[in-house]
């Protein structure tokens, strides 16, 4: 029997995720602005180094002894340390805000699942935000998430300086050298954005799950809900609509945006599995989503649809679900 309030529940989930995205966008914009300003300062030092080099192609030893190179390296170190600190601050802020949203929205989703309305959400148990933050091990300031952030600046200082040294002593020219800085500094930003966004969505989902647990008299579990669009990965498509116990977290991958919907005695609000959705897509889109190798193997019956999602260990979150590579699917 179809869930009587399915459309309402999915609509509310979309609203809540949109609110989370608005918070996410504001945080991402702060990071992007900071990185752009840092890049400009480092670029100025690189330009001074390039001018000092002129037409010469130095050896590694000659380059690293140049005062302009030392100045640039010191600037890179300062900038990346500052950006590391900003990443820590923003990660803590977005996690705290996401816990608040998850805490409030979980009760509303439970109410919508049971009645189709959210007005009665105050009748359900609600855990204090501070208590939820305390429960989330990955938000421990001495834990693996912030330890990983602390490794960013020394790692990227070495990576950026090594790339620039290699490019300069190979004589690739000023434009190509600047392109190396753009590429490697862009990797720093990408890593920071991924770190913040993933901490935010995990905090939101875990706050929701904590509240589902607090209302276990009416919430029997949770349902994995993925946005089935052109951007969905095959792992999330596999997991869409699957039912999980309250003891299990939603182990999405980095940058994953899936939601956990409450499962109540009224049943599963997700009416179509990811596999059924995929089976109705045009062949061209199925091939594009899976990739030609996986698609051909799947059509040949070499693996089941469910095998496209696999669990991997993660130092910060314990476990994540990612899309299985072809080598893991076909012996």
pLDDT of residue 120: 63
- Asked if residue 316 lies in contact with residue 148, where contact means CB atoms within 8 angstroms, the answer is yes
- Asked if residue 247 lies in contact with residue 287, where contact means CB atoms within 8 angstroms, the answer is no
The pTM of this model reads 0.92
pLDDT of residue 121: 58
Average pLDDT, 10 consecutive residues per value, the chain (331 residues) = 87 92 93 95 93 91 94 95 96 94 90 78 75 87 92 94 93 90 93 95 94 93 96 97 97 96 94 96 96 95 97 95 96 81
- Asked if residue 98 lies in contact with residue 200, where contact means CB atoms within 8 angstroms, the answer is yes
Instruction: Check residue 226 and give left, alpha or beta (phi > 0: left; psi -120 to 50: alpha).
Output: beta
What sign has the CA pseudo-torsion 160, 164, 170, 175? Answer: positive
Q: Residue 233: CA atoms inside 13 Å, Cβ hemisphere, count?
A: 17
CA distances from 279 to 6, 66, 86 (A): 22, 62, 44
- Asked if residue 73 lies in contact with residue 42, where contact means CB atoms within 8 angstroms, the answer is no
Return d(Cα 163, Cα 286) in angstroms, integer. Answer: 39
- Asked if residue 222 lies in contact with residue 106, where contact means CB atoms within 8 angstroms, the answer is no
* Residue 32, SS3 per DSSP: helix
pLDDT of residue 4: 87
Burial (CB count within 10 angstroms: exposed 0-12, middle 13-18, buried 19+), residue 301: exposed
Return d(Cα 331, Cα 172) in angstroms, integer. Answer: 43
* Residue 192, SS3 per DSSP: helix
pLDDT of residue 104: 87
pLDDT of residue 118: 65
In degrees and rounded to multiples of 5, residue 222 shows phi and psi of -140, 160
Tell me which DSSP letter residue 267 carries.
Answer: B
Contacts of 167-176 spanning 24+ positions with Cβ under 8 A: 168/49, 168/53, 168/57, 168/58, 168/63, 169/57, 169/58, 169/59, 169/60, 169/63, 170/57, 171/57, 174/50
pLDDT of residue 26: 92
Side by side, the strands of the sheet bearing 259-263 are 243-244, 221-225, 259-263
Exposure class string for 170-201: b at 16+ Cβ within 10 A, else e: eeeeeeebbebbeebbeebbebbbebbbbbbb
CA distances from 170 to 11, 161, 183, 184 (A): 57, 14, 17, 17
- Asked if residue 106 lies in contact with residue 259, where contact means CB atoms within 8 angstroms, the answer is no
pLDDT of residue 311: 97
């Amino acid at each position: 029997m179809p869930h009587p309030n399915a459309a309402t529940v999915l609509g509310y989930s979309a609203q809540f995720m949109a609110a989370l995205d608005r918070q996410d966008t504001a945080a991402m914009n702060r990071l992007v602005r900071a990185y752009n300003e840092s890049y400009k300062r480092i670029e100025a030092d690189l330009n001074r180094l390039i001018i000092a080099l002129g037409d010469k192609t130095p050896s590694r030893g000659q380059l690293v002894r140049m005062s302009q190179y030392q100045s640039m390296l010191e600037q890179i170190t300062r900038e990346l340390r500052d950006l590391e600190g900003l990443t820590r601050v923003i990660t803590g802020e977005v996690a705290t805000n996401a816990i608040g949203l998850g805490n409030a929205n979980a009760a509303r989703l439970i109410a919508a699942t049971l009645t189709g309305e959210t007005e009665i959400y105050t009748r359900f148990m609600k855990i204090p935000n501070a208590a939820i933050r305390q429960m989330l091990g990955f938000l421990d300031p001495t834990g693996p998430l912030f330890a990983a952030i602390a490794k960013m600046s020394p790692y990227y200082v070495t990576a950026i300086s090594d790339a620039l040294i290699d490019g300069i002593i190979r004589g690739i020219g000023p434009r190509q050298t600047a392109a190396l800085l753009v590429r490697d500094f862009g990797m720093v930003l990408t890593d920071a954005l991924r770190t913040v966004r993933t901490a935010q969505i995990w905090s939101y989902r875990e706050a929701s799950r904590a509240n589902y647990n607090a209302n276990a008299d009416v919430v029997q579990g949770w349902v994995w809900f993925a946005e089935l669009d052109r951007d969905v990965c095959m792992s999330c498509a596999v997991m869409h609509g699957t039912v999980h116990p309250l003891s299990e977290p939603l182990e999405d991958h980095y940058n994953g945006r899936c939601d956990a919907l409450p499962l109540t005695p009224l049943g599963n609000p997700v009416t179509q599995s990811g596999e059924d959705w995929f089976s109705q897509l045009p062949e061209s889109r199925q091939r594009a989503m899976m990739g030609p190798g996986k698609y051909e193997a799947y059509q040949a019956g070499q693996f089941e649809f469910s095998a496209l999602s696999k669990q991997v260990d993660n130092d910060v979150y314990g476990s994540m679900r990612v899309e299985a590579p072809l080598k893991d699917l076909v012996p």
